[in-house]
Chain A
Amino acid sequence: EPEVTQTPSHQVTQMGQEVILRCVPISNHLYFYWYRQILGQKVEFLVSFYNNEISEKSEIFDDQFSVERPDGSNFTLKIRSTKLEDSAMYFCASSSGSQETQYFGPGTRLLVL
């Protein structure tokens, strides 16, 4: 069964450093999403992406964040200058249509020190 994959599974970084989280969505999916989950809290939407551009973004997704689909398979989330409060589990998801079920990757746990 096709699945969404994410790398790395864990990332530790120093405050102020840039990080790039990588995702490979399901191959025939067209809609891509990033969510995050701060430890002990609920999952929050960050951004959705379709047709090589951002469709929606939450107020969490400020200028420090960016997304890119650099090739036909990868979908990345970049945090330009990490802050302590960026420490969270970041989930990538994809779907075949905007109203279709979203399938999630296993997540990247980011720890900012």
Chain B
Amino acid sequence: GDSVTQMEGPVTLSEEAFLTINCTYTATGYPSLFWYVQYPGEGLQLLLKATKADDKGSNKGFEATYRKETTSFHLEKGSVQVSDSAVYFCALPDYGGSQGNLIFGKGTKLSVKP
């Protein structure tokens, strides 16, 4: 079945460091891909998405490119801030079901130190 494999955390970086969180997927066809973020004590928020191969999703300085050839959707940010400390989830719709319920990776906790 479809699945998402996400880089294990936690990841600890200093402010202004470069961030990469790896995400690879297995899926039938070419699903949309998502990154969700969960700030401490809060719910899930959509961070960015890409709907087809070679699309780049971007938001708040974060970027991820839909790579069909490597089945990857790695999240990157050039210069992280303390406020980026959160848990990041890669996700894709389970089109094996009728309504595309989301399949999430295990989440990567990011801590950014000043």
| Chain A residues at the B interface, C-beta cutoff of 8 Å | 6, 31, 33, 35, 41-45, 48, 50, 55-56, 89, 91, 93, 98-99, 101-107
User: Is B104 touching A42 in the complex (CB atoms < 8 A)?
Assistant: yes
**Chain A residues whose CB sits within 8 angstroms of the CB of B53 once the complex forms:** none
Q: Is residue B58 contacting chain A, with contact meaning CB distance below 8 A?
A: no
User: Is A106 touching B97 in the complex (CB atoms < 8 A)?
Assistant: no
Q: Quick one: given A91-B43, A101-B46, A103-B46, are A45 and B101 in contact (CB under 8 Å)?
A: yes
User: Is A98 touching B43 in the complex (CB atoms < 8 A)?
Assistant: no
Q: Is residue B28 contacting chain A, with contact meaning CB distance below 8 A?
A: no
A49 vs chain B, min Cβ distance (A): 9
Size of interface on B: residues with Cβ below 8 Å to A: 24
Q: Quick one: given A103-B46, A104-B36, are A42 and B102 in contact (CB under 8 Å)?
A: no
B43 vs chain A, min Cβ distance (A): 4
Given contacts A42-B107, A48-B97, A55-B98, 5 further A-B contacts (CB under 8 A): A41-B106, A43-B107, A99-B93, A104-B43, A104-B44
**Chain A residues whose CB sits within 8 angstroms of the CB of B79 once the complex forms:** none
User: Is B43 touching A42 in the complex (CB atoms < 8 A)?
Assistant: no
**Chain B residues whose CB sits within 8 angstroms of the CB of A107 once the complex forms:** 42-44
CA distance A41 to B106 in the complex (A): 7
Q: Is residue B89 contacting chain A, with contact meaning CB distance below 8 A?
A: yes
Can you give 16 A-B contacts (C-beta < 8 A)? Answer: A35-B102, A41-B106, A42-B104, A42-B106, A45-B103, A48-B98, A55-B98, A55-B99, A99-B32, A101-B34, A102-B46, A102-B102, A104-B36, A104-B43, A104-B44, A105-B43
**Chain A residues whose CB sits within 8 angstroms of the CB of B102 once the complex forms:** 33, 35, 43, 45, 93, 102
Which residue of B has the minimal Cβ distance to A47? B101
**Chain B residues whose CB sits within 8 angstroms of the CB of A56 once the complex forms:** 97-99, 101
